[in-house]
Amino acid sequence: MGHRRVSGRKNVHAFIIRYGAYAALVEPSESLDELLARLAEVAQEAFLKERKRLNLTLLDEAKIQRFRHHRTEYLAELEARWEAAVAQAKSQVV
């Protein structure tokens, strides 16, 4: 059996496909002050925009995980949400 990587997966390919855009590279020889100076160069707006994209990616991954491992509960919740939305739409039309 293979050894698990830090990511918790044996194969990092899927991990890189999902989260590679958000991987942070740290040079071991870089001092903490140099790292902080480099991170300070990132604009606040750019950081917040990318953080929002990461949160959306994580939300999608959570939905996929729930669908794969708790399909019945996930679909029941989805049907209930659709029924509530349809009922609300009908009440607004009347």
pLDDT digits (tens, 9 = 90+) for 14-23: 777 777 777 7
Residues spanned by the domain of 80: 43-94
pTM over 0.85, yes/no? no
Task: Looking at the structure, tell me whether residues 11 and 27 fall in a common domain.
Answer: yes
Burial class (CB in 10 A: 0-12, 13-18, 19+), 19: middle
Least trusted range by pLDDT, from 21-25, 59-63, 81-85: 21-25
Check whether residue 47 and residue 88 sit in a common domain. Answer: yes
The count of domains in the chain is 2
